[in-house]
Amino acid sequence: MTVWLVGLALFNISAVASLFVSRSRRRNRVPWLLFAVSLLASELAWLWLPVQATLALVFSLGGALENPVGRFALGALVLSWPVLVWSLRTGLACGPLVEHALQGGLGEGYRAEVPLALQQGWRPRTVFRDWRNPVRFSHPDVELIRNVAYGPAGVRQMLDIYRPKVIPPGGCPVILQIHGGAWILGDKAHQALPLMNLLASRGWICVAANYRLSPSVGFPVHLEDCKRALCWIRTHGREYGMNPDFVAVTGGSAGGHLAALMGLTENRPELQRDHPGVDTSVQACVPFYGVYDFLARYQQHPNSELVIAFLKDRVLHESPEQNPALWDLASPVAQIHEGAPPFMLVHGQLDSLAAINDGRTFAQRLRRSSRKPVVFLELPGAEHGFDCMHSPRTEQVIDGVHRFLEWTRAKR
C-alpha cells in the first residue's frame, strides 16, 4: 500500500506543479507533457480531488502510514489539495468572466439586442448534470451524419454533420468546426463535442471537417481544405438542412489558428482555386486557444525558438528567410483588416502550448483595425484543450459562445 500511496502523491504533485510552471509562462522544453499532466489538475479537479481523497483513505487503512515514507507521501499529497480546490473554484466561477467579456466586446445591453425567439435556447445557468459525465457527448435531440466527402482526398477531406432532429423550413445557421493537433494529427470526431452538441440541440448545424495534415503537405494546404469544406457548405448545405447564408467558424489550437485565417482571408482566389467565385466569407469567428503569429514577432511566446523550428520543419517546409510571404500568410496577426467578421477569442491563462500573450496581442491589434466587435475571453486556471470534455468551465464558456453567435446572427 505504501508504494501505491507514494505513486499517487508523486503523480498528483506533478500535476499540481505543472500548473505553476504554466502560470510562470517561462520557457520549457516539454510543453506537450506539461499540457497532458496539468489538464487533469485544472479541468477535472472536481472529480480528481474526491477520487484521490478516497484512495488516500484506502491506502492509509491498508497500512501505508505504518512507516515514515507512507506518512511523508500522505502529507505531501494533502498539501497539494489546496491547488486542486483553487482549480475547482476558478472553473465554477468563470460564468461572470464570460459575461463580462461579452459585455466588454458587444456592449452591456447585448442581450436585449437578441430577439426573444433566439434567446429561448439559452441555458439560464449550468448545473451539475451538465458536466457530471465529462465524456458523454451524444445528445438525444441531435442527429449525427458521418463521413460526408467534400473533396476527392479520402478520409482527410470528409466531414461530420451534427444537426437537430427537427429542421425548420428555412434551414439552420451553420458553424464549421476545425480540429486541432499541431497541423500534423487530429480528427474531426474528437474535438469540440460539448460545443457542437449544445449548438445542434439549440437549432444550429455543426460541420466538423478533416483536412490534410503535415508533414505530408505544407501550409497553406490545410487552409485550402478548410475553404473547400466551406465551399461545400455553401453549395450543398441546403440538402442537409443548412442555411448557408450564415456560417460561423470555430476551432481549437491549430484549428483556432485556421479558424482565424478563415475569418481574415475571405474570397482570395489563390486559396480557393477549385471553387472560384464561391463566397468564402464567414459571418462570425470563434477561435479557441489559437496560434496567431508564427514568427512571435511581438515576443509573446516563451518557446518561440521551438515553435519556429517545428513549423519550419514540419508545417511550412520553408524558413522565414526563404519565404517571408508564406509565414505572413500563415500568421493571422499579419492578415488583420478592417473588414474582419465579429470575433470571440477564448484563451486560458495557464495554456502551456499556445501562449496567452499571443492571444492578447492578436485581440489588441484586431480591435485597432476591425470595424466589427472583438470579444476576448481570458480564463484563469484554464489549460490548452480545456473544452475537450464537459466541466464547469467548459459548460459556462460554450453557453457564452452560444450567446455570442445568436447576437451576431441577430445583428446581421
**pLDDT at site 24:** 47
Q: By the 8 A CB rule, do 315 and 214 touch?
A: yes
Q: By the 8 A CB rule, do 348 and 315 touch?
A: no
Same-domain check for residues 260 and 313: yes
Same-domain check for residues 215 and 335: yes
Respond yes or no: is residue 399 known to be catalytic: no
3-state secondary structure 66-93: HCHHHHHHHHHHHHHHHHHHHHHHHHHC
pTM to 2 decimal places: 0.92
Tell me which DSSP letter residue 301 carries. Answer: -
Same-domain check for residues 111 and 231: yes
Of 160, 225, 351, 387, the catalytic one is 351
| pLDDT (average), residues 192-219 | 97
Tell me which of 89, 117, 135 is where a domain ends. Answer: 89
Tell me which of 66, 89, 112 is where a domain ends. Answer: 89
Same-domain check for residues 298 and 317: yes
Of 384, 387, 391, 402, the catalytic one is 384
DSSP codes of every residue in 106-135: H-TTGGGGS-HHHHTT--S---HHHHSSTT
Respond yes or no: is residue 222 known to be catalytic: no
Same-domain check for residues 79 and 100: no
The β-bridge partners of 162 are 144, 206
Q: Name the domain count of the chain.
A: 2
| The three grid cell numbers given for residue 12, joined into one nine-digit string | 498528483
Range list of H helices, 179-316:
193-201, 221-236, 254-264, 304-310
Tell me which of 42, 74, 89 is where a domain ends. Answer: 89
Same-domain check for residues 283 and 168: yes
134 preceded by a cis bond (ω within 30 of 0): no
Same-domain check for residues 319 and 358: yes
Respond yes or no: is residue 60 known to be catalytic: no
Same-domain check for residues 84 and 105: no
Same-domain check for residues 250 and 146: yes
Of 42, 80, 214, 253, the catalytic one is 253
pLDDT digits (tens, 9 = 90+) for 160-197: 999 999 999 999 999 999 999 999 999 999 999 999 99
Whether 144 has a pLDDT exceeding 70, the answer reads yes
Domain that residue 30 falls in: 2-89
pLDDT digits (tens, 9 = 90+) for 313-361: 999 999 999 999 999 999 999 999 999 999 999 999 988 888 899 999 9
Q: Which residue has the cell 459585455?
A: 103
CA distances to 257, 292, 308, 311, 364 from 357, rounded to whole Å, are 15, 10, 16, 19, 10
Whether 73 has a pLDDT exceeding 80, the answer reads no
Domain containing residue 215: CATH number: 3.40.50.1820
Phi, psi of 177 (to 5 degrees): -100, 125
Q: By the 8 A CB rule, do 57 and 51 touch?
A: no
